Chains A and B, each alone.
Chain A
Amino acid sequence: MSITSDILRGHTETIILANLLDHDSYGYQINKEIMIKTGNQYELKEATLYSAFRRLEQAGFISTYWGDENVGARRRYYSITDSGREAYKVNKNEWEISKEMIDKLLK
């Protein structure tokens, strides 16, 4: 599974953007949804997640705010920006193209 996790890790940012398309979310919830979608096959390390968050924030693709929970520690929420949506579309497209190319080459 090592090649797979490398490839997945390379797409961490797009994966996060995809997750934020429909609703804002926070670290653990994003990771949970990824685990559910992959049938528990894939889980991101927190450190990987956070460094992706920072890169996305610096690029202006996501914005962040603190929630005001009544119980427990407050959560840091992320939401996707317009340029984030653009980036998502571009990256997804590139992935589709790479996927096609590799499929052709591996026949």
Chain B
Amino acid sequence: MTTARVAPSPRRSLRAAAPLIRAAIRRVPTPLALLLTVALVLSVAWDVALPAFQGPDEAGHFSYLQHLAETGKIPSATTGGKPNSTEVQAALNWLNLKALIGDIRAAPAWSSADLALWHQVEHALPSGSRGDGAGPNALAKNPPLYYAVMSVPYRMLVWLPLLKRLFLLRLLNALFYLATIVLVWMLAGELFGRVLWKQTLAAGVVALQPQLAFMSAVINADNLLIALTSAVLLASVRLVKLGPSLARVLTASGLTAAAVLTHGRGLVTIPVLLTALVVSFIKHHTEVRDALARTAAAGATVGGAALAYVLFGRAGGSSGLYGGQASELNAGTGFKLGQFLSSIYQFYLPKLTELHRRVGPAYGYRQVFIDTFYGAFGSLEVAFRPPIYDTLQVLSALGLVGLYTAVVTHWRRFWRSWAVVLVMLALLITNLLFLHYVSYRSLLGTGGKEPLIVGRYLLPMVSLFGLAVAFTVGSLPKRVGPFVGAIILAGGALLSLTGVGITLVRFYA
């Protein structure tokens, strides 16, 4: 005798889940809910302010996503007759969006007559116009996770015209930004305990980081990478704090694998995971056999993901495993350790007489850590006024002095938290070394023309930025700290509004 089981209808399932969802929402602390609302509003505003394909390399990222979603294949990095699909290329041409990229003197075709013309062009596109962007696409060397994740909403929205589809995809992309804010909130909770104002300050600084909010409205794999790197940091901190249980090891290594499958710059999470594992084993006196088993589990997770990528990439005809910054890891020849170290020194500090001139243009701390980290929008052509960057540079220097002072005055607390500190340092140091190394390689390979790195490559460490601000401000006397925190958040809100405003004016006024 068989028993027939009736599956619950979707409506009934939703009705059953509703109380759980309501309860989950009620559990979100009010300050976090407010910050997430603020961030969502900012992201939608950025989506409106930024015309299609005007984010960094956005056409290339969208084309990768589109080709994967339409055909199930990764586009080629080197071959093929069309970097973009016929549909995307038509929009770039007919709405003057191609000429607009990075050129402050161009404007998009923004009138109702232009839109009517675009409708005619779009309706006349032949079938197959969405799936024929097979390459060469320089971004095809990126691993596929971000594009695969975004393929799901793409397929759901495929019936919409291009501009509407892109707008909604960008909105969904904002989920990674919101996730990053939640992760920083949780990280602050792990580090400072349940001190809501410090958690709010850390997460608020991240939510109001203009470059991050801007990127949330751009189709770009960086968004998932930033969220995943923050998640790896949180998982690693929990690993060293609570001990290397199998579940925690698998969570941390699973997130690391996801970061590795998202972007070449995700490779920097591997040293973070390794540091967390070793520190956790030492701190929690793990037996050698258990430590080996857990290391093997972590290795298998990350290695399995990498292997899957190699096989998938080969099957899809992708000619390289990683592109962009990661491709510079072993590019070219002529590496000289002294020159490399000298280039790092001169990136931050004025040249000493004994040192050789730095390879490449005058490009250093100011351009990467200030100008393009706090905000350079569009394809870097939309920027705040120079005095704003000057102010940010002074305030950042003050913040660093404050952080140093806080560390020195709280050195006992730091010493007690050595395990967590080591994990965070691992992320900071590997990320910076990675970026300096690929920048140096790129400068060697391009005759000193292309330093390659910009401030948004620091965004995977944005959680450290938020935590550092909260720690420094939290170390101030109690009469002062909340005031400084409020001023910092107010400054962040002003910067964010300015960023949206100048971008809207640049593209539409």
A binds B: no
Q: Which residues of B contact A (CB under 8 A)?
A: none
Q: Which residues of A contact B (CB under 8 A)?
A: none
